[in-house]
Structure 1
Amino acid sequence: MNTMTETAALHASAEGAEPSAPSFRDALIASGILIDTGENGLYGRSQVFEDVVERLNVAITHLGADQDPEVLRFPPALRRTDFEDSEYLKNFPQLAGTIHSFCGNEAGQMRLLRCLDDAMSQSDDDRDPAWMEQQKPTRLVLTPAACYPIYPVMARRGPLPAGGHTIDVLSYCFRHEPSLDPARMQMFRQREYVRLGTAEQVMAFRQMWIDRGSLLVSLLGLPVDVDLANDPFFGRGGKIVADSQRVQELKFELLIPVANADGKTACLSFNYHMDHFGGIWKIQCDDGSIAHTGCVGFGMERITLALLKHHGLDVNAWPDEVRAVLWGDTKARVEHALAEARV
């Protein structure tokens, strides 16, 4: 198991130095809010943590209720062929997670069991993964972003209605990005509103959600910092793609300090995909043109961690205004804020 805490890692790199103060990750684990599984970026969640996530979900629902979205929920896996078509592997092969399973015969099982016995006789960090040679790819992969299952489904329905279409989706997602930063989890939840329609409809949607996302974060007593961003494209050509994404202003992020007071973590993202997904799956507007798409993504774990970082690990001691938004009349408070801000 990879059980080194952030504090221990700092000690290992600076032997003989004075002990460091416990990190935010250490404090979360010590308080029982996050449960250490022994693998960096993979955590259990306590009742306290899950309660905050659920109440955030309620607030986000009220924030988008007037958009009359279609609510869809998918498991955290999608068809391998849809994943291949999405071109995710062209841009982020380092983050993808595939699902393998044993598909052999009895002789293969015996080889697997021998390899497994050998592995179990070794220490956790040095175990030989030879038993996995008996595994084969299945027809499923882990979902990298909550919106990905939507596009092939929409394509099968035929042309969009004249006003386009808005979808509310929530899913666990996976990205192979092990880290000591608690805000950079390998398994995490994304709540998204996804817009499909013309370029004008999608651009207006994105600007509306930049305003609404900022409003929600302000109601939660957190700092608001929206900035132009780019995705972590892979390889030598990745910088060229990222620079192009920034020049075209396709991605914005709402940044909040979480694990490190001197750094900022993207807790919400506002994305315009142009006709990328519409072109891949031939999603059409009512006039036959290729649909454009965009989405706002709420990082549920990251927003929760930001609240715990800025307001403290005891949720009962959070500011009254913040508790009123999450544990009070959430609907009334969100609707009042929307009416005042006119967003």
Structure 2
Amino acid sequence: MKLMTDTAAIAAAAVGPSLTLRDEMLAAGLLIDTGENGLYGRSQVFEDVIERLNLAITQLGKDQQAEVLRFPPAMRRTDFEDSEYLKSFPNLAGTIHSFCGDDMGHHRLLRALDDAKADSEDDRGDAWLAQQKPTRVVLTPAACYPIYPVMARRGALPADGRTVDVLSYCFRHEPSLDPGRMQMFRQREYVRLGSPEQVMAFRQMWIERGSLLVKLLGLPVEVDLANDPFFGRGGKIVADSQRAQALKFELLIALADPRGKTACLSFNYHMDHFGAIWKIACEDGATAHTGCVGFGMERITLALFRHHGLDVDAWPDDVRALLWGDTETRVADALQAAQATPTATVAGERA
């Protein structure tokens, strides 16, 4: 199946080696420039790869008997406030505002908007925003955030805990020319709620499975200890503590950042942070611990284009067979082979 238009192929061929991955993706029509850094349209080819990657992830977690939940890319403002996200990442959060005024307010808004439009696009004022007020919803910062209050309302967890499969667009106010650092992007997550032992075993399993998937995709694997980008001077103390307790690992792949590799998967142990906030209890009454594996859908897709080229028809046969062939069988066979000869991936391993 041909998935690259002749026009895109010609544009891609004309791209010089000095251009960045972003330039190449835009020239090939795989990403669509909106005029705002970190905000892109996606082509049919790009979305097709995302869809097939998503199917491979589903097959990878098929035996987990996870509850599938899908939420819009927004969540209740009160749940967001309770999550303590603003304590750690105030610079990344996105709120949703709307006009809530009367006729006079509307007239003020329109006058301010006319004044703004009279200026050049780069110098436009934002006085019209004074007529906007916060709504009761905010943009979702991570796919797993909406599930915790939902789980809390159900009461105590069953003895074997719960596993949830969630996928959502997420927002982080982080405008950048690096296509691996989008402001709106998709996260696919498997989230585990239960005892510390259940969550730690879950995370180790997904470090191994996530690494296996990346190898099947023909991409280099490097899993390393990491920390979240906590805000401010106090954030360094929190980040150091997170690393000291080995709460977060990331699978890193070279994308577009010349300074280093980009996290394409993350493996997180939250301890009882979310369990305590929302009073999620285990069957025995203990506060539930949580953890998750997060797949950066755009980032993995970018890695595929970065390492295999812009024409999906020319990707390695094994990669094409995984994504456009019998995905279920290939993932199942790989899992079976890995279980027969376990080789746990640890921090710093490279393949």
TM range (shorter): over 0.9
SS of alignment partner, residue 100 of structure 1:
strand
Q: 1:106 is aligned with what amino acid?
A: D
- Counterparts in 2 of 1:179 and 1:60: CA distance versus 1, 3 Å: same
- In the alignment, structure 1 residue 283 sits paired with structure 2 residue 280: yes
Q: Give the structure 2 partner of residue 263 of structure 1.
A: 260
Deviations 1:153-211 (A, max 9, x none): 00000000100000000000000000000000000000000000000000000000000
Q: Give the structure 2 partner of residue 224 of structure 1.
A: 221
Distance 2:292 2:24 in 1: 33
Distance 1:192 1:24 in 2: 26
**Structure 1 runs of 4+ with >6 Å offset:** none
- Counterparts in 2 of 1:113 and 1:20: CA distance versus 1, 3 Å: farther
Q: C-alpha displacement at 1:21, in angstroms? A: 1.8
Q: Give the structure 2 partner of residue 183 of structure 1.
A: 180
In the alignment, which of 235, 240, 243 is matched to residue 237 of structure 2? Answer: 240
Deviations 1:234-261 (A, max 9, x none): 0110100000000000000000000146
In the alignment, which of 243, 248, 257 is matched to residue 251 of structure 1? Answer: 248
Distance 1:124 1:206 in 2: 47
Distance 1:260 1:129 in 2: 32
Deviations 1:10-49 (A, max 9, x none): xxxxxxxxx9821110110011000000000000000000
In the alignment, which of 149, 155, 160 is matched to residue 152 of structure 2? Answer: 155
Q: C-alpha displacement at 1:51, in angstroms? A: 0.2
Structural mapping, 1:47-58, within 5 Å: 47-58=44-55
Deviations 1:264-318 (A, max 9, x none): 0000000000000000000000111100000000000000000000000000000
Deviations 1:117-142 (A, max 9, x none): 00111111100000000000000000
- In the alignment, structure 1 residue 75 sits paired with structure 2 residue 81: no
SS of alignment partner, residue 232 of structure 2:
coil
Q: C-alpha displacement at 1:69, in angstroms? A: 0.3
In the alignment, which of 25, 28, 32 is matched to residue 25 of structure 2? Answer: 28
Distance 1:262 1:213 in 2: 24
SS of alignment partner, residue 236 of structure 1:
helix
Deviations 1:85-142 (A, max 9, x none): 0000000000000000000000000000000000111111100000000000000000
Please, which runs of 5 or more residues in structure 2 have no aligned partner?
1-15, 343-351
- In the alignment, structure 1 residue 37 sits paired with structure 2 residue 34: yes
Q: Give the structure 2 partner of residue 7 of structure 1.
A: none
Distance 2:38 2:241 in 1: 30
Q: Give the structure 2 partner of residue 12 of structure 1.
A: none
In the alignment, which of 292, 296, 310 is matched to residue 295 of structure 1? Answer: 292
Alignment RMSD (CA, Å): 1.0
Deviations 1:32-76 (A, max 9, x none): 000000000000000000000000000000000001000000000
SS of alignment partner, residue 27 of structure 1:
helix
SS of alignment partner, residue 57 of structure 2:
helix
Q: 1:143 is aligned with what amino acid?
A: T
Please, which runs of 5 or more residues in structure 1 have no aligned partner?
1-18
SS of alignment partner, residue 302 of structure 1:
helix
- Counterparts in 2 of 1:150 and 1:105: CA distance versus 1, 3 Å: same
SS of alignment partner, residue 264 of structure 2:
strand
Q: Give the structure 2 partner of residue 122 of structure 1.
A: 119
Normalised TM-score (structure 2): 0.92
Distance 1:123 1:203 in 2: 54
- In the alignment, structure 1 residue 200 sits paired with structure 2 residue 209: no
Distance 1:263 1:199 in 2: 33
Q: 2:210 is aligned with what amino acid?
A: G
In the alignment, which of 125, 136, 150 is matched to residue 133 of structure 2? Answer: 136
SS of alignment partner, residue 141 of structure 1:
strand
Q: Give the structure 2 partner of residue 6 of structure 1.
A: none
Q: 2:63 is aligned with what amino acid?
A: D
- In the alignment, structure 1 residue 85 sits paired with structure 2 residue 77: no
Q: Give the structure 2 partner of residue 100 of structure 1.
A: 97
Distance 1:140 1:262 in 2: 36
Number of residue pairs the alignment of both structures matches: 325
Normalised TM-score (structure 1): 0.94
SS of alignment partner, residue 237 of structure 1:
helix
Query: Alignment identity in percent?
Result: 78
SS of alignment partner, residue 41 of structure 2:
strand
- In the alignment, structure 1 residue 165 sits paired with structure 2 residue 157: no
Q: C-alpha displacement at 1:263, in angstroms? A: 1.7
